[in-house]
Structure 1
Amino acid sequence: MTVIEDLLAGPRGRRFCWEVVLATVAEPPDDDTLFWADHWITVRQGGGVSFYGPGSAQPRPEPDVRQITVAHEALVHAADPASATLDQALAALRLAADSARWWQEPDAVDVRLGSVVPRTLLVRVATAVAGSPGVQALLAPSGAAKQWVVAPDSPWEQGPERPASELLAEWRRELVAERAHGTEDPVDAPISGTWWTSPPGGLVETTTERGGRGPFGLWAVEDHTGWERADVSPAAVDPTARVLTIDDAEDWAALCRRFPLDVTATTRRHDWYRATGRVGAWVVPDWTAVAEQVDAVRLTLLGWLRASGTAVPVDDRTASVIAGWTPDTTAWLHDPRPSLGPSSTWVWSDDRAGWFSA
């Protein structure tokens, strides 16, 4: 695949490209077509927006495909995605991760980009984005030598360290118990539960970084809980470790075929139906079985852009989803864990729109 195809293969890659466009708009067109397009997409999904002020009782009619396309083209014309910097690329990656929601329908922007905007326009945007210096720096191979562990300053993210084998065994017991939910409820029933497919929380996860701006574990977190402060520690990674790399959808499918664990009779059936529109049987990797063969599993940045949130065919009956991962993250399935060096505190700055070492 080319980089352009990589960026357009999945919803997160398309959203990343669009966020780069928005970051490089010098002067936005005076046009609210996309606002109304998003409003009506949300209404069709069962949501809505409350309006106040003059004219609020009569919302504008839904724009047609031609109007939406013209509005997109106007924004692209006002932008310069080919000049995107690394800071703008990281900001776009952050927004692409933050807008991922694999427990409900795609948001209106993802719907627009996935089913309304013409492919020719998406290709034009992706071509410009892929050629920008910031995106090239972001997508450059990171290597495995330098990795970091991010420990958010949040009660939702902390907990006592427990053996990896104990965490994996508990994860499997709980997942098997979840299968008691069954499949009697309609797939579109308003039922939700566990939706992520990353290895269980509490395991060590290491991420890479680009340009000294802080590791991806700060920037690109799906379902972010709002923390704005974290300790970042360098991790000493064993260069001989057996690391299984997920670089695209087929890699994930192969992992699921090799170590399948059926989750059709859990609430994932409802969450992933809303997120992908697919009806059918679902599997996830059995991380306890994976741990018997490898030391760690890594999802690359390109793997995340290409496949996160899609219904990945595993065989002619089952599919799976990459959900809840931070891009370019390695999850370590064994003890001893990578040893950590002295930590530094990083904080989020709204004024500077970035993460900075305190």
Structure 2
Amino acid sequence: MGFAEDLISGPRGRRLCFNVLAGQRQLPTIACREVMRFLGSLAVPDDWDFLAGWEESAFLEPLGRSVDSAMYWQEPDEVDRALAAQNTARALLPIARAIAAAPGARWWLDPLDLDRQFHAEFPHTEPPRPARTPEDLAEWRASTVEDERSADERPADPAAPFTGIWWSTPGRRPVHTTRALPGMGPLGLCLEEDGFSQQRAWCRSVRPVRTPGVYEITGPAAWSELAERYPLEVSRSRRHDWWKVSGWEGPWVIPDWTLVAADHDAVHLTVAGYLTTAGRALPAAGARTMLAGWDPDQTFWLTDALTVGPATAWHGEPGELTTWAPGPG
């Protein structure tokens, strides 16, 4: 399959396509049955030439709305459920093809941009501390293993009303960055799963002191391979949340980031990788794995060999990267 077909294979990619369509048609927020009726009866035009004129900034709003609607601790919302229907997904394919060909979306497949990496710190988060990376990863693993052990006391029924840790990142303490787009701030200022709608942040440039070994998550196969190669079982601790998302009742694994760190300095998730991978129950190590809690174009640094620049205050409107600009702290 090509990128367009991959887009409509994942919930976040389908939601992006629908957001582009809804914005173009000026559709209001609509309920599940209305989504089905609208897309089921719509003769989606083959000509989406207007997307050929979209620059990088034009895609930020529909991309941000797809990120905002990602939830891994409850069932998919009405729109995501409607878009998962086979006939509905097919209706989105012409839009997906136009998006895949648009100049403003071509960078979504790009690897890590070493020259424009920034850490965004919000009032509720911490500044980057690369010197603590080994300790942070060790603490993450100890906490994850203990959570899995203690989860043995939780209900065996995946449908039981229980929630716990739902993300598959190495926590929030290891340094994590996104690129800054030309003329704008870092993507991490706005494209954040389960964000807090902040209007203030401090951004610091982050650069490795040597050429890093980077694992690129470009799509579902790359994430599955990572979890397959470095599996850490989290079946009991993720069972209830991820069953709500996927319906999978069997075992779950995530990458053991302490083992990944032995072979790689960083793990980068491309925007295309995010849109095609996030929220899916994917095969790995005889189980399933899920990319959850990641942000588009996010890099987690698994090394302490980093140079961090001084903090610069930024201000802007939540979810609107084009409004963010440096200003007094």
Shared fold (TM-score greater than 0.5)?
yes
3-state SS of the aligned residue for 1:346? strand
3-state SS of the aligned residue for 2:252? strand
| RMSD of aligned Cα (Å) | 2.9
Task: Give 5+ residue unaligned stretches, structure 2.
Answer: none
1:285 correspondence with 2:255: yes
Q: 1:158 aligns with which of 126, 132, 145?
A: 126
Q: Which residue of 2 aligns with 1:22?
A: 22
Superposed displacement of residue 73, structure 1: 5.0
Q: 1:145 aligns with which of 106, 109, 114?
A: 114
Give the aligned residue type for 1:313: P
3-state SS of the aligned residue for 2:84? helix
1:94 correspondence with 2:84: no
Superposition pairs of residues 218-297 of structure 1, within 5 angstroms: 218-238=189-209, 240-266=211-237, 268-297=238-267
Tell me: CA distance 1:238–1:117, structure 2 relative to 1, closer, same or farther (3 Å): farther
Tell me: CA distance 1:228–1:64, structure 2 relative to 1, closer, same or farther (3 Å): closer
Tell me: CA distance 1:94–1:4, structure 2 relative to 1, closer, same or farther (3 Å): same
Superposed displacement of residue 257, structure 1: 1.5
Superposed displacement of residue 184, structure 1: 4.2
Superposed displacement of residue 346, structure 1: 2.2
Tell me: CA distance 1:159–1:146, structure 2 relative to 1, closer, same or farther (3 Å): closer
Tell me: CA distance 1:64–1:99, structure 2 relative to 1, closer, same or farther (3 Å): closer
- Give % identity: 33
Q: Which residue of 2 aligns with 1:214?
A: 185
Give the aligned residue type for 2:204: S
With normalisation by structure 1, the TM-score equals: 0.81
Task: Give 5+ residue unaligned stretches, structure 1.
Answer: 39-61
Give the aligned residue type for 2:271: L
Verify the 8 A CA contact 2:185 2:321 in the aligned structure 1: no
With normalisation by structure 2, the TM-score equals: 0.87
Superposition pairs of residues 41-190 of structure 1, within 5 angstroms: 65-66=36-37, 69-70=40-41, 73=43, 81=51, 83-115=53-85, 117-136=87-106, 138-139=107-108, 141=110, 143-155=112-124, 157-158=125-126, 161=129, 163-179=132-148, 180-182=150-152, 184-190=155-161
Q: Which residue of 2 aligns with 1:44?
A: none
Tell me: CA distance 1:238–1:302, structure 2 relative to 1, closer, same or farther (3 Å): farther
Q: Which residue of 1 aligns with 2:6?
A: 6
CA–CA distance in structure 1, aligned partners of residues 271 and 212 of structure 2: 20
CA deviation map 1:83-104 (0-9, x unaligned):
4442220111111111100111
Q: Which residue of 2 aligns with 1:340?
A: 308
Verify the 8 A CA contact 1:150 1:218 in the aligned structure 2: no
Verify the 8 A CA contact 2:39 2:88 in the aligned structure 1: no
3-state SS of the aligned residue for 1:233? strand
Q: Which residue of 1 aligns with 2:300?
A: 331
Q: Which residue of 1 aligns with 2:278?
A: 308
Verify the 8 A CA contact 2:44 2:91 in the aligned structure 1: no
CA–CA distance in structure 2, aligned partners of residues 308 and 350 of structure 1: 22
CA–CA distance in structure 1, aligned partners of residues 115 and 232 of structure 2: 33
Give the aligned residue type for 1:195: W
1:201 correspondence with 2:172: yes
3-state SS of the aligned residue for 1:354? helix
CA–CA distance in structure 1, aligned partners of residues 6 and 35 of structure 2: 28
CA–CA distance in structure 2, aligned partners of residues 75 and 102 of structure 1: 33
3-state SS of the aligned residue for 2:212? coil
CA–CA distance in structure 2, aligned partners of residues 252 and 109 of structure 1: 25
Give the number of equivalent residue pairs. Answer: 323
Verify the 8 A CA contact 1:273 1:279 in the aligned structure 2: yes
CA–CA distance in structure 2, aligned partners of residues 247 and 160 of structure 1: 25
Superposed displacement of residue 330, structure 1: 1.5
User: Which range moves more in the overlay, 234-243 or 165-174?
Assistant: 234-243
Tell me: CA distance 1:190–1:291, structure 2 relative to 1, closer, same or farther (3 Å): same
Superposed displacement of residue 158, structure 1: 2.2
Tell me: CA distance 1:305–1:168, structure 2 relative to 1, closer, same or farther (3 Å): same
CA–CA distance in structure 2, aligned partners of residues 218 and 13 of structure 1: 21
Structure of larger gyration radius: 1
3-state SS of the aligned residue for 2:279? coil
Give the aligned residue type for 2:297: D
Superposed displacement of residue 3, structure 1: 2.4
